[in-house]
Amino acid sequence: MERNANEVKQSDWPLTINVCYTQYEVLQDCADETNFRLSTEEEEDWDIWWIDAAIIPTLLIKMKPY
């Protein structure tokens, strides 16, 4: 079964940066230059979490151990 050449799956991206708690638009430019993917969904898995405030313990427990 062949995949559509225009179809991009989430697994095709090398890393996902969660930016749901940031205000910096420059992160989009950085993600574009490094081929990273930005996520604004709190419940979505991510590799890098960019946050502009104090770290909230309830969000820390969502981190995966890998």
pLDDT of res. 59 = 78
pLDDT of res. 58 = 83
pLDDT in tens, 9-65: 656 668 999 999 999 989 999 999 999 999 999 888 889 999 998 887 887 887 888
Higher pLDDT, 66 or 3: 66
Q: Quick one: CA torsion of 28, 38, 9, 13, rounded to 10 degrees?
A: 80
pLDDT of res. 29 = 95
CA-based nearest residue to 16, from 37, 30, 32: 37
In the predicted model, is pLDDT for residue 5 greater than 70?
no
Q: Quick one: CA torsion of 25, 26, 32, 36, rounded to 10 degrees?
A: -80
What is the spatial distance between Cα 63 and Cα 29, in angstroms, rounded to a whole number?
25
What is the spatial distance between Cα 21 and Cα 51, in angstroms, rounded to a whole number?
5
Read off the pTM.
Answer: 0.68
